[in-house]
Amino acid sequence: MKFLKIPEATIKRLSVYARYLSNLDAQDRRVISSAELAEECGMNAAQIRKDLAYFGEFGVRGVGYYVKDLLFDIRKILGLNKSWRVALVGVGRLGEALLSYGNFVKQGYHFVAAFDADPAKVGRSIGRDLEVLPMADLPRIVAEREIEIGIITAPAPAAQEVADRLVTAGVRGVLNFAPVRIAVPEGVIVKHVDLTQEFDNLAYLMMTRQQ
Amino acid sequence: MKFLKIPEATIKRLSVYARYLSNLDAQDRRVISSAELAEECGMNAAQIRKDLAYFGEFGVRGVGYYVKDLLFDIRKILGLNKSWRVALVGVGRLGEALLSYGNFVKQGYHFVAAFDADPAKVGRSIGRDLEVLPMADLPRIVAEREIEIGIITAPAPAAQEVADRLVTAGVRGVLNFAPVRIAVPEGVIVKHVDLTQEFDNLAYLMMTRQQ
């Protein structure tokens, strides 16, 4: 499959489609029209067709989409047929919440290690089978467990150093939840997740709606 | 101030700018060039100028932006000069993490109530001064405390009912963290926050970078 430069918004919607298709598939639903899929996802059918058109032809005229096929194709596009090995650094409340969020595993993201700088947290068990490890073990564990993605839920002042350590250890993608920008070398991808932005966006829409 | 239809991406970037300006202001920084602000935020200066141009003229040629003025103006645009009263429903790990995340308060979002359907959680103290309340109290508390925004961190099967109750009680904006689409009546704003999307987006970028 060839990869074009696809708008980020399309990629985000594809992951929404994948989630709904996965629910439908679990209910043994075989076929769905684009109108119905749009309804399920809270979007419009034209948008769905446009998003899918980036990647080729999907669906059958007069029938709709075969749920299993479309799910397979979207998951392939998103790289979700692959399973990703993830480490989390900073086992505070948000870190624990992420570690125990079952949906990540369903989508192919496997937390295979968790680290914390606080000796009081090291050795604690999280979820089914994770144990909080000391930062000193990070380079060895990232290599041994072939970890590709690092999640930073450490406090803001520590975030850059954590990112540096993850990257040095071999991680190629970083999801940063700390409220600070971090820099990574060329070739490594970093995404900043800022939960306050979601609030800001909601507040802005509420305010403009009032006018 | 007039509100135009502004792209969501611009609104999201404005809240990033506001965050950095607020840090600069706390460090008593008076003036910043658009190039420096761009550097701080990890964006490019042209993008910043374009985003701000939606709202009028900012900055002084040859000088840059006055930090305090620009922060004030952006916060006004985003509705952040107003403080928002927020209730959270579903005090699981994610709920607790959100309730204790200090940055929300800094940005004007005040959690003034937390609810849970589980009697075992009712009465528990969260953070400084919140107590988990039973669902039955929701209508009265939302009215009494003039709550405008509801955060749903309840399990997916309960999310729609929680949304219905919040809206009936008078909430006009809902931020839904449950991995399910919810419907709200005309005039109420709902934003879905799907943390898995952030992973999907990162994975996609990592995969395409490898080509």
What ipTM was estimated for this complex?
Answer: 0.76
- Name residue, tokens 């997740």: A193
Question: Would you call A191 an interface residue with chain B, using a CB distance cutoff of 8 Å?
Answer: yes
Task: Give B148 to chain A, closest Cα distance, Å.
Answer: 9
DSSP B107-141: TTEEEEEEEES-TTTTT-EETTTEEEEEGGGHHHH
Does A9 have pLDDT greater than 90?
no
- Least confident range of A9-13, A146-150, B86-90, B151-155: A9-13
Instruction: State residue B210's pLDDT score.
Output: 57
Question: Would you call A105 an interface residue with chain B, using a CB distance cutoff of 8 Å?
Answer: no
B183 → chain A, closest CA residue: A42
Average pLDDT of the segment spanning B112-140 = 94
Question: Would you call A204 an interface residue with chain B, using a CB distance cutoff of 8 Å?
Answer: yes
Instruction: State residue B1's pLDDT score.
Output: 44
| Whole-number average pLDDT of chain A | 88
| Residue percentage of chain A with pLDDT more than 90 | 42
A83 → chain B, closest CA residue: B203
Summarize pLDDT for A97-115 with one digit per residue, the tens: 899 887 787 778 899 999 9
Instruction: State residue B211's pLDDT score.
Output: 44
Instruction: State residue A158's pLDDT score.
Output: 96
Q: Do A8 and B201 touch (CB under 8 A)?
A: yes
Question: Would you call B170 an interface residue with chain A, using a CB distance cutoff of 8 Å?
Answer: no
Instruction: State residue B2's pLDDT score.
Output: 47
Summarize pLDDT for A16-39 with one digit per residue, the tens: 888 888 888 888 889 998 888 888
> Residue A48: how many CB atoms within 10 A of its CB?
22
pLDDT category at B152 given cuts 50, 70, 90 is very high
| Whole-number average pLDDT of chain B | 88
Summarize pLDDT for B65-81 with one digit per residue, the tens: 889 989 888 888 887 77
Q: Which helix (DSSP H) or strand (DSSP E) does residue B68 occupy? A: helix B67-78
Do the Cβ atoms of A74 and A48 come closer than 8 Å? no
Interface contacts A/B by beta carbons within 8 Å: 183
Find the CB nearest A78 among B11, B82, B200.
B200
pLDDT category at B107 given cuts 50, 70, 90 is confident
Query: Which of the listed ranges A13-17, A112-116, B44-48 does the model predict with the highest average pLDDT?
Result: A112-116
The more confidently predicted of residues A15 and B162 is B162
Average pLDDT of the segment spanning B155-163 = 95
DSSP A54-108: TT---SBTTTBEEHHHHHHHHHHHHT-SS-EEEEEE--SHHHHHHHT-HHHHHTT
A86 → chain B, closest CA residue: B199
Q: Could you tell me which residues are beta bridge partners of residue A110? A: A85
Helices (H) and strands (E) in chain B, counts: 9, 9
Instruction: State residue B25's pLDDT score.
Output: 86
Does B175 have pLDDT greater than 70?
yes
Average pLDDT of the segment spanning B173-196 = 91
Find the CB nearest A196 among B11, B15, B206.
B15
Question: Would you call B136 an interface residue with chain A, using a CB distance cutoff of 8 Å?
Answer: no
The more confidently predicted of residues A143 and A14 is A143
Interface of A with B in 30-59 (CB under 8 A): 40-42
Instruction: State residue A28's pLDDT score.
Output: 87
Find the CB nearest B107 among A80, A93, A196.
A196
Task: Give A1 to chain B, closest Cα distance, Å.
Answer: 10
Instruction: State residue B135's pLDDT score.
Output: 98
The more confidently predicted of residues B44 and B211 is B44
Average pLDDT of the segment spanning B77-88 = 86
Question: Would you call A27 an interface residue with chain B, using a CB distance cutoff of 8 Å?
Answer: no
Does A211 have pLDDT greater than 50?
no
A20 → chain B, closest CA residue: B180
Q: What residue type is assigned to position B160 of the chain? A: Q
Summarize pLDDT for A54-70 with one digit per residue, the tens: 877 777 887 888 899 89
The more confidently predicted of residues A23 and B121 is B121
Question: Would you call B96 an interface residue with chain A, using a CB distance cutoff of 8 Å?
Answer: yes
Does B182 have pLDDT greater than 50?
yes
Question: Would you call B189 an interface residue with chain A, using a CB distance cutoff of 8 Å?
Answer: yes
